[in-house]
Structures are given as C-alpha cells and as structure tokens.
Structure 1
Amino acid sequence: MRGLLASSIGVTCAAALALPLTLPASGARAATSGVPSAAGPAGPAAEAIPGTTQSLPLAPLGSDRSLGPTGAQEQGLARRDVRPFSLVGVVWNDPDVDLHGTVQVRTRAVGTTTWSGWQSVETHNHEHAADPGTPERGSGAVRGSTAPLWVGASDGVEIRVRAERPAPTNRTDPARPDTDPARPDTDTARPDTDTALPDTGTGTALPHADTATAPSPTGLLPEGLRLELVDPGDEPPPQGATQVLDAPRTSVVSAESAAASAVNADLAPLDAAAIPELTKRQTEDDLIAARGGPEAVGKARPYVGPRPRIITRKGWGANEKLREKNFAYTKTVKVAFVHHSASGNHYRCSQAGSVLRSIYRYHVKSGGWRDLGYNFAVDKCGNIYEGRAGGVAKPVLGAHTLGFNSNSTGIAVIGSYSTVNPPKAAVKAIARLTAWKLGLYGGNPRGTTYLKSGGGNLHKKGRKVRLRVISGHRDGFRTECPGRRLYQKLGTARSTSARLQGR
C-alpha cells in the first residue's frame, strides 16, 4: 500500500482527487413517484432498481376539509393499505418554510393485523441541508422535509399533521430547544481570539453570538404536504457497474488538503464492502508519505488516529444510480459536526444498511438532495459507514449542517438521542472516526477553530464563528440535534479522540 502511495506523490491536485468509485449510468435526478389512487396499494409500479418510494398527497381532516389544503390546520390520511415500506417522512414544496406543528403516524406490520401506537416524526429538518447559494440548494428540486422515521416492514399507514397554534405576541424567544436545564446556556458574544476552552468532559456548548432569526408564521401548514413511504430494497445492489476515475464537478481543494486526501488512495479493491482498519503506525506512515516523506515533515510524527474499519457505500448497498453523477469538494476539514438521524432506535444493527438505504433514498428522491446528506454514519453497535460519495479521506462537501457545510464533515449516529443515552460503542466510534479524519487535516479534537457562516438561524451569513473541532449540530444551528443525551457525551468523544491521536 505505502509503495503505491509513495509513487503517487507529486501528482496534481486534480489527479489526487480522482478516486475510483462506482459510476452510475445516469446523473439525472430521479423524479418523485406518482400520486396513488385512494383505493388499493399506493404508488407506481416497482422500479427496476432495488427500493421504491410511494408519495401520497395529504388531505384536510375533520372541519378543515372545507378550507382546502392551503388553509387547513390539520391534514393527513385515514388508515389504508399500501405497498410494503420501512421508513416514513413528510415533504412539502418550499424548503425555506418550516413545518410548525406535529406529525404523527401509525403503521401496521407486514403480515399482521396489528397497528402500532401513534409515533411522532421530528418536524424540524430544515437545518439538515445544503448551504444557501450553493448549486445543490439552488437546483430547484429541493423540498422541505421532516426527519425520516424507521418503522420496520409495514404495509398499512395512517397519518395526521397538525399546525402549531400561533404564539402569543408578547412571547419571548425560548432558549435553544432540548438544552439541559441544570446547565445555564449563555448567549454572549464569542471572544475574538481563537483561545481553546477547557474541555470539562461534558458536551457544553460555546456561548452564542447571534439570536435566532424570526420564525416563519405558525398556525398554517406548508403547501404541498405529501407522505413519503420508502422501501429500502433488500436485494443486493446491481453488479457489474463500470469502475472508472470520475473527476469532480467542483474542486477547491488546497494543496495541503490534497496531500491529506491522497492518504490511502488505494484503500481497498474497488468491489470491497469495507475499508480495513490500520494500526496507528501504518496510518502515520501513510500520512507522512502523502506529505512528501520524512525529509519533508521532519522527525515529528503527525497527530492522527488509526484508521478505523469503514463499511463502504457498496457494503451497505447504496444504489449509485440514485445520486448525482459528479462529486463536490470543499477546501479542508476543520470541524466534525455530530448528528443523530432522529429516525428512531427500533432497529437491529444487522438492519443498519437498510436504514441507511432508506435515508439515502429519502434524501435524494423525496427531499431532492444530490446524495445522502451526511459524510459518515455510525450505528448503535459502533459500526462506521461511508456516507456521501466522493472518498472517505477527502473533504467531501455534505448537506448536514445548514450554514457550515464548507470545511467540515458530518457524522450521524443512527437513532434518536434526546431522551435515550447513546450506546458507548457509538460514542467510541465517533472518537475513532474523528481521530483519523480530523488528524488527516491537522485537527485537534480538544481544540477550537473558526468557520464562516453561510447563513442560518443562529449565526448570520458571513460571520466568523468559533466552534469546537468536534461540535454538535446545535452549535451551528438552533436545533435539538444531536439530542441532549448524545450532546452530553461529546466531551468524552473529544477526550478519547485526542488520546487516539497521541495528544
């Protein structure tokens, strides 16, 4: 491996970025499935590729029926039979409009007459998106969407969506949701100097500079509400796809980042289901070679953690025909944002691939994104998965933290962790992944750095914001994500990650 890597030193930045990946037959975005009839199974005939999406328009419920969809405060669907699915979500026309209200679904397991109780769907998914002004955000295909909810194999569904009542006019802005009441949350200006805060071993956030932007009006539901039912397609992905070198559509990678990205360019055979782990010494040697060899870097060894085992997109069955053909990159990786998928915890680790395929399909087919939004995913057993395509060692531009996707990477723990503690294996996996990924770009997991905001409800566009190198999603956007319980474990992840780097 290192012989091959060393021979590649000195190649151009563009050549270093051309990682072998499976190239889909078409880069066109797939259209959302057709509208089902009220009678019988919903949706069009099954697609030729594994997985399907059923898209059902919601209708006013109860007394709202006379108002029509644009004036209704409650919409939904009565119980009905549908084709099998495993994940649900709701989308609407305008991605810049939030759904202020509640979404609840209940489902019937395949092969039974048993219906679940009402389950809540996280409505605020606006913060998981491409940055304003980017080609992905401005494609015209992006929709507003809730978080996806994994319900397991089901063939019956009922849903109700209720608008939130308008807040009293004298109501003040609340503190960020889901914060720990035992820990005061200050809202003071950030210091101008990049002084690292002491790591207390908790997930305490840095103080915030800007207040939230004014919320969109409540009391009405967004236009074009549709229920999305996703079947992940548990068949293996298509075989025999051509393996080629695919040049990126957008490349703004610096020379330093290109050297870091060249690490492990020969990660595994092109048809491998997983990238094997390396020892710390092997990882250090590869990074030194990518930076020009011992003569270029001197005697000091880099602070980088051992490369963990990573299940590739092929390993979890990503259908490369769904995503856009080309890749987009940013300059470097300065911050790792930790998320939870908010898709629920009722999955077995053996089902994690199905959950990821469902979220991937939901992001692309239902939400109109170019690919899966997250750069990496972690399941509750601590397995690490490749997310958005473009190369695990490269600075791939994701759509995970609105306003801060540039120069960052997004890691989603599959599950919901607002009231449930994340498994220790998942927290350790975050530490192992960040020790390696941040180490490739010189990041100190215990430190802080600056990112320029691309715009959001917490930090104004253009503001230089000081963030922890390992941050929670809520540090960049006013949101519950990654859930209070997971957020509180980030201090442990930082300490472990730094130790794995040798700091």
Structure 2
Amino acid sequence: MRGFLASSIGVTCAATLALPLTPPAVASTARPVPTAEAATTAGPAAEATAARSATEPHVPGSTQSLPLRPLTRDRTAGAPGEEGLPARDVRRFSLVGVVWDDPGTELHGRVQVRTRAAATGTWSGWQDVETHNADHAADPDTPERTSGRVRGATAPLWVGDSDGVEVRVRAEPGHDHRAGTPGEAPTSQLPPGLRLELVDPGEAAPPSGTRVGGLSAEATAASAANADLAPLGATEIPAESPAVTEESPTETEQSPATTEQGPAATEQDPAATEESPAATVERPGVREERPGVTVESPATTEQGPAAAEREPLSLNGADRTERQAKPYIGPRPAIVTRRGWGANEQLREKKFVYTKKVKAAFVHHTASGNNYSCSQAPSLIRSIYRYHVKSMGWRDIGYNFVIDKCGRIYEGRAGGVAKPVLGAHTLGFNSNSMGIAVLGSFTATKPSSSAVKAIARLTAWKLGLHGMNPKGKTYLKSGGGNLYRKGMNVRLNVISGHRDGFATECPGGKLYRKLGSARTTAARYQGR
C-alpha cells in the first residue's frame, strides 16, 4: 500500500466551556503578520480600518493571521508558558484556530478564545479550542506531509460572524513541545510560531482563472470528476432509487475492489489483503497471527480523474463467481457538490490523487462546535476548507465527505465522489479508505439521528461500489501512527471511528457509540 499526497485530518473532540466573562481590553495595536495569503491577510492598512461598522462591506473569503505574544512575566524555570492576544478589533471572521510552525509538534495545554458578535457587539464567554490535532496530518513520508508548507494546528472553532477576538494559550504543567529530546527536561513551554487564524468563509467562490462554459478551469475539472453522476456545473448529485442500484451490475464491474468479500461475508478474505506472510496484527491488549498472501499493488501514484478506473483486474475462480452474484450496493444518496457549497477551486492544488480502493470508512467529527444552523453549513465547510489549505498547508480539505446536523451530505476533497480519492483524515490510514466528518463536537453532545442515518446511507453506497460489507471487518496497512507502527496490517471494522486507527477522542464518545447502528442500517440499505 503506497502512500502519496495524503494527510490525515480527521477530527478531534472539542467541548465548549463557558467561563466567567472578563471585561474587554482596549484594542491592541500589534500588527498582524502576513502569511502565504498575503493579499487577504490583515496588514497595517487593514488594521487601521479594523474598527469599522459591522454593516460596512468586507472582503469575502480571507484569512487574518495574528502572531501571539507572551502574556506572563514569569520567567522562572519550569513556569508554564502563556501566550495570547488581548481583546481587539479585527476584520470580520466566522471561524478561529491556532497554528504553529512544526506539524510534528503537539500543543500540550489549553487554548481559549472569546469573540464579539458583529451584529450585536456582544462578547461571548470563553470557549475551549481542541488542541490535540496531530492525528489530522498527512501520513509520514508522503509529499503532502513533506511539502514544507504544513503547520501544526488546533481544531477549528466556528463562532459565527464576529469582529472582535481575545485569545489565551497556556502550556500544561509538566509538558514541553520538545519532550523526548535527549538531554532536555520538560520546561512546560509552548511550540514556537503560535499564530491566531481568523477565517472569513466568503459568500461564494470568486470568479477567476481560465473559464470554460461559465466555470473556471479548476471548477470545470472538479465538476467533470462527477460527470457520470451529474451535469457539468451541477450543485447537487441527485439521489438514486434503490431499484436502479440493486439491479445494475455496471458499478460492480467498474470496481476493482469487488474481490474483497462474498455477499454474506462479515470479514474480508485474508488472501485479498495486502500483507506479508504470517502477518502479525498488534492491538492494545490483543495479539493475532494469521497467514497471508503477499499481493503487489499496482502503481497508485497515477493522477487524473480516471486513474483509478484504469487499474487492471486479476480474478481467481472464487472472485469470478462473486462478480456474477447480486451486487450489494446501497442507493446513492443526494450529495451537494463542491460547487454547491461554494468551494473556491483556486485554493487547492490542481491535480487529483487516488488510492487503490475504498476498503473502510473512518468517521470523524470536525470538533468545530455545534452552534451553527443547517443553512450555515456551506459557510462552515468553506471555512474549514480554507483553514486546512491556507492555515495548515494541506493540498485540499482533508475529508472525503462532510455531513451536517440535518443529515445533508457534501462532497469533500476534489476528485469525484464515486472514485477512491486519497484524503487526509486518519493519520496512518488514508490509503484505501475514506473519511466522513460530521460537522460538530460530539464528546458531550449526541449527534442527530439525521446525521447518523446519513452516515449509513453514504457508506452503503460508497462501500458497496467497492464490494465492502458495512458490518464486516477488513485489513489496512498502517502508514505509521501512535497506535500501529508503519507497515503493520491492522484488522478494523469496515466502518470505524477515527480513534480506531489513532489514539484520539475523535469522533467523540457520543458519535462513536452510534457507529454500531450506522453499520446495521448501512448493511440493510445494501440489501444484506
């Protein structure tokens, strides 16, 4: 299983904590620093006009990057580091996060923000921002990880239309970003280069680039990747009736992954996995050994919308028999396209990258809070997209699909919803999988029944295209992480939570406990 242009963003768990409201400080005069998005990042001129009325027009689709400064004068050895910004006026934004220089560094501490609503001028209480986001990074040694643009980051937090902000970041006592360095003791310091990122999602994708039929070249390419499912420029891929899906063998014939399992199987064929003979699978408290057959994967570094479809098939007798059986593919649900949620295709890298197949789905939450309406979901997705690309340095949004609290499904990373697009959602397991993120934080809050049902509908269809049983098990080869060493073949549920592949709280305990129901429902949609 070869890694390439992958990252794992998934999502960590964030809980909103309301603390006593402190009086707003006088607006700071510190200047924001320019970032890679110099044209839209706050600078001296922008700062001079930052206190304008909330009713004045503002530049849509932008990121302000503000360097954090020490908040304490305590310089005694071992004193926890503390950085932040006093309350200040800023250009309007709707999503906030904190980034730092080294993506391999974790921020052990607490990040809190409070914001001022642009419409009312009211300051919020302090809110916690989820800090442990290292599990949402590109796999080790992949081009996306080693691009030199990637940064460490917290999870993003949706705060709504705001024009004022205050932030404080305090290191956790006894932890140091340099912990583990030979000869250095923990000094409770924060990682270098801390910056506050304030994201304005904008209203829609700005018109730019070479245009074809009313679309930019990049938007045309993203839309064309779904040409078999919807017209060019469509804002939504329509739902498919169950009868069409269950009776048509076409999609099974196109999928190289249909050799994975039989119609009634609950676990994948060991011989069909990519593993070494007598592979050992190590899990916490469990040690399993089983014989295997080495399967050489075809080159998976091809780029272009049709790359995955060009993979040759090699079928044994049992596989040929299976292909003649009824395809277990759930009806395709309606999916809002990137054009539908207003993606600015100029932000992402132009090429699409594919993995071999989709053997598993990892479920995440965005840890961005639950204070959004369903009508705001496109704006929230645009904000996360911009945060992933501009603030964190990824090639595109990390998830393959996004689901809102009303159960609406959105296309994530570009390349085609029916294709095995390589995402950046689960560190170590981005290859041969897909990532589904539910908008919200589900550590203490239950996900809506509509969102859980949408997970089932989406996985019944997409996993079905690749011959996978939602109630089954499969093997994935680890690309490296904090649970499984690189190269290890790990037995996982076909529908897994982020925490199954990486030591994280994601997708939150409340959502994680709903995955059993999602598996059962997805299998029923497939006709099993």
Please, what TM-score do these two structures have when normalized by structure 1? 0.76
Q: What does residue 370 of structure 1 align with?
A: 395
Measured after TM superposition, the shift of residue 94 of structure 1 is 0.2
Is the CA contact (8 Å cut-off) linking 2:204 and 2:343 kept in structure 1?
no
State the shift of 1:280 in Å.
1.9
Distance 1:419 1:325, change over 3 A: same
Q: CA deviation at 1:129?
A: 1.6
User: For 2:103 and 2:521, how far apart are their aligned partners in 1?
Assistant: 37
Measured at CA, do residues 476 and 221 of structure 1 come closer, stay the same or move farther in structure 2, by a change above 3 Å? same
Change beyond 3 A, Cα 1:491–1:107: same
Cα distance per residue 1:52-110 (max 9 Å; x no partner): 0000000000225x69xx99700000000000000000000000000000000000000
SS of alignment partner, residue 162 of structure 1: strand
> What does 1:13-412 correspond to in 2, within 5 Å?
31=37, 34=41, 36-37=43-44, 40=48, 50-64=60-74, 73-166=81-174, 219-235=188-204, 237-238=206-207, 240-242=214-216, 265-288=227-250, 291=253, 300-412=325-437
Amino acid in the other structure paired with 1:226: R
1:241 offset after TM fit, Å? 2.3
What SS does the corresponding residue of 2:499 show, helix, strand or coil?
A: helix
The residue number in structure 2 matching 1:481 is 506
Counterpart residue number, 1:258: none
Percent sequence identity over aligned pairs: 66
Deviation (angstroms), 1:114: 1.2
The one-letter amino acid of 1:227's match is L
Does the 8 A contact of 1:472 with 1:482 survive in 2? yes
One-letter amino acid of the structure 2 residue matched with residue 269 of structure 1: P
Give the aligned residue type for 2:197. Answer: E
Partner-residue secondary structure (3-state), 1:108? strand
Deviation at 1:291, TM superposition (A): 1.0
Q: Deviations over 1:476-503 (max 9, x none)?
A: 0000100000000000000000000011
Q: Please, which of 449, 461, 467 is the counterpart of residue 486 of structure 2? A: 461
* Structure 1 residue 458, shift from structure 2 partner: 1.0
AA at the equivalent of 2:117: A
- Tell me, yes or no, if the aligned pair for 1:36 and 1:55 is still in contact at 8 Å: no
- Separation in 1 of the partners of 2:217 and 2:43? 37
SS at match of 2:37: coil
Structure 2 SS opposite 1:63: coil
Unaligned segments of structure 1, at least 5 residues: 1-28, 169-215, 249-261
Counterpart-to-counterpart distance in 2, 1:353 and 1:289: 30
Q: Does 1:445 align with 2:470?
A: yes
Which residue type is aligned with residue 370 of structure 1?
R
CA distance in 1, matches of 2:253, 2:481: 36
The 3 A distance-change label for structure 1 pair 167 and 80 is closer
Judging changes above 3 Å, is the alpha-carbon distance between structure 1 residues 41 and 131 closer, same or farther for their aligned structure 2 residues? farther
Q: What is the deviation of 1:238? A: 2.8
Segment drifting more, 137-146 vs 31-40: 31-40
SS in structure 2 of the partner of residue 427 of structure 1? helix
Contact 1:336–1:469 (CA under 8 A) maintained in structure 2: yes
Following TM superposition, by how much is the alpha carbon of 1:39 offset from its aligned partner in structure 2, in angstroms?
A: 5.7
CA distance in 2, matches of 1:263, 1:300: 29
> How far is 1:41 from its partner?
5.3
Whole-angstrom distance in 2 between the partners of 1:217 and 1:494: 44
Give, in angstroms, the shift of residue 234 of structure 1. Answer: 1.6
- Greater than 3 Å deviation, 4+ residue runs: 29-43, 46-50, 242-248, 262-265, 284-287, 295-299
Q: 1:160 is aligned with what amino acid?
A: R
AA matched with 2:250: I
Farther off after superposition, 412-421 or 218-227:
218-227
Deviation at residue 281 of structure 1 after TM alignment? 2.2
Residue 364 of structure 2: SS of its match in structure 1?
strand
Separation in structure 2 between the aligned mates of residue 331 and residue 366 of structure 1, nearest angstrom: 29
Give the match's secondary structure for 2:390.
Answer: helix
What is the number of equivalent residue pairs in this alignment? 409
2:338 counterpart letter in structure 1: R
Instruction: Give the TM-score normalised by the residue count of structure 2.
Output: 0.72
The answer to whether the Cα contact below 8 Å between 2:400 and 2:434 also exists between their aligned partners in 1 is yes
Letter aligned with residue 199 of structure 2: V
Shift of 1:50: 3.9
Q: 2: distance between equivalents of 1:161 and 1:221?
A: 8
- Cα RMSD (Å): 3.1
- C-alpha spacing 1:386/1:368, structure 2 compared with 1 (3 Å): same
Kept in 2, the 8 Å contact 1:128–1:401? The answer is yes
Q: 1:288, CA displacement in angstroms? A: 2.7
- Residue 363 of structure 1 aligns to a residue in which SS? helix
State how far apart, in whole Å, the 1-side matches of 2:57 and 2:480 are: 38
Shift of 1:301: 1.6
Match of 2:442 among 412, 417, 420: 417
The amino acid across from 2:63 in the alignment is: T
Structure 1 residue 128: deviation in Å? Answer: 1.1
- How many angstroms apart in 1 are the aligned matches of 2:331 and 2:392? 35
